[in-house]
């Protein structure tokens, strides 16, 4: 039986629905009355880090790096045509992505939502792999891998991750390597598909001018019931300590790039911690922060400067990034500021500004059906309820953020990754 729960948020003034479908799939519907655009995103808790796993307590299976991304590419190819072309015929704009810990298929449209949703639910549930098509894809993805190898922004991030992590596969390129994808076979793809593309391991989120019955009608028609299994992703033990404090690479860039990562002990975050970390990010890196002003006044950063809390299955870190004429000096200034902040605490005025920024960003995101759909998926895979997340922002206190600050951003456990211009290295 399907169960539908209507959830109302007094903070946002909106209501949304959580549907536990009889097939095993969890569905979120966020109605936005009078919106022309509609959005659907169908995701599985399966990404590039899930390269070793067991099913129902069985033997651990190790698969080639990059297979989750490879599988995403192959899912659009059906035995009766290309799913991209089918979506285009309805006027929908379809896409997909693979991250470190999830794979998602999505579309936006203004008309023919039901037809587009049927196409989405159909092709994601209907894998079709042959030796010929799998081998053909190796060349296409190989070109994509080489393209990323030529991207300084991509390289500076993965250099940082390889400096932070000794064993965890988060340090491996999401697409894998040319060598690893050469090992992928239809058998590997089917094995990973039937393990992770189980509806009990997936979520569907839709947003727009829609009603629960609109979605349930299609779900009842298209979703194939799945038996629930215990999926365990297996990771080698990862030490708290970083592997390397500094990594440098030369690239044909005009300005040095840097990524500075502060590694934490891996753990599952909750809504309260997520909010506190988001406020810390805003406090430290927003254009209104004291750190940003110091770095900017010293001409050590430009508008590319950013910070995010980076977390997932087996990894947690704060990451700073940007362009800088002197990345080492910028990193030292960031560390000094963090140590001062941890020692003296956050000023109440600064906290209130950061809290309002986080709350305002969340509220403004609700004006976009795409942002809504993505947020619902992200929070679901984080095991966080959206309404609880909203409440935690409103209830967050200066004291709790100061306590969180004492537990994170260990400046003795940080990796600095730098991309330097080739011509600078030759001087």
Catalytic residue list: 72
- Phi first, then psi: give them for residue 256, nearest 5 degrees: -60, 145
* Dihedral sign, Cα of residue 257, residue 262, residue 263, residue 269: negative
Spatial distance between the Cα atoms of 373 and 39, rounded to a whole number of angstroms? 7
331 by DSSP, 3-state: which? Answer: helix
386 in Cβ contact with 12 (< 8 Å) = no
Residues 6 or more apart whose CB falls under 8 angstroms from that of 59 comprise none
- Phi first, then psi: give them for residue 257, nearest 5 degrees: -115, 155
- CA 160 to chain centroid: 17
Residue 61's DSSP bridge partners are: 53
161 in Cβ contact with 171 (< 8 Å) = yes
Spell 360-372 as b/e; 16+ CB within 10 A means b: eebeeebebbebb
Other Cβ atoms closer than 10 A to 140: 10
Name the H helices within 20-130: 67-75, 83-90, 113-124
Spell 44-71 as b/e; 16+ CB within 10 A means b: bbbbbbbbebebeeeeeeebbbbbbbbb
Rg of the Cα atoms in the chain: 23
333 by DSSP, 3-state: which? Answer: helix
- If we measure between CA atoms, which residue out of 5, 62, 58, 59 comes closest to residue 29? 5
């Amino acid at each position: 039986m399907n169960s539908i729960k209507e959830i109302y948020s007094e903070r946002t003034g909106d209501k949304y629905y959580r549907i536990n479908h009889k097939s095993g799939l969890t569905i979120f519907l966020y109605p936005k009355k009078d919106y022309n655009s509609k959005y659907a995103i169908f995701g599985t808790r399966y990404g590039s880090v899930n390269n070793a796993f067991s099913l129902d307590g069985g033997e651990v299976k190790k698969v080639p790096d990059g297979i989750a991304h490879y599988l995403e590419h192959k899912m659009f190819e059906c035995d009766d045509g290309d799913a991209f072309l089918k979506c285009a015929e309805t006027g929908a704009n379809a896409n997909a992505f693979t991250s470190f810990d999830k794979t998602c298929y999505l579309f936006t449209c203004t008309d023919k939502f039901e037809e587009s949703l049927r196409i989405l639910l159909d092709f994601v549930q209907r894998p079709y792999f042959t030796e010929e098509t799998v081998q053909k894809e190796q060349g296409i993805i190989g070109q994509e891998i080489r393209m990323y190898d030529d991207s300084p922004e991509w390289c500076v991030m993965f250099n940082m991750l390889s400096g932070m992590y000794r064993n965890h596969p988060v340090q491996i390129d999401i697409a894998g390597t040319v060598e690893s994808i050469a090992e992928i076979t239809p058998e590997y793809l089917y094995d990973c598909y039937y393990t992770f593309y189980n509806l009990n391991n997936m979520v569907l989120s839709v947003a727009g001018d829609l009603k629960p019955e609109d979605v349930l009608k299609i779900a009842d028609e298209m979703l194939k019931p799945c038996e629930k299994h215990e999926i365990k992703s297996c990771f080698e033990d990862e030490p708290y300590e970083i592997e390397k404090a500094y990594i440098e690479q030369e690239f044909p860039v005009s300005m040095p790039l840097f990524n500075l990562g502060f590694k934490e002990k891996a753990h599952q975050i909750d809504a309260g911690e997520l909010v506190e970390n988001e406020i810390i990010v805003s406090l430290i890196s927003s254009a209104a922060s004291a750190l940003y002003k110091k770095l900017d006044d010293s001409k050590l950063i430009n508008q590319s400067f950013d910070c995010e809390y980076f977390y997932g299955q087996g990894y947690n870190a704060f990451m700073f990034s940007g362009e800088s004429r002197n990345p080492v000096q910028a990193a030292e200034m960031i560390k000094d500021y963090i140590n001062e902040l941890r020692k003296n605490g956050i000023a109440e005025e600064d906290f209130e500004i950061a809290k309002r920024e986080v709350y305002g960003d969340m509220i403004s995101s609700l004006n976009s059906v795409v942002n809504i759909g993505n947020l619902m998926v992200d929070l679901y895979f984080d095991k966080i309820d959206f309404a609880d997340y909203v409440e935690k922002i409103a209830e967050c206190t200066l004291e709790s953020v100061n306590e969180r600050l004492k537990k994170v951003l260990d400046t003795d456990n940080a990796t600095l990754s730098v991309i330097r211009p080739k011509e600078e290295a030759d001087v």
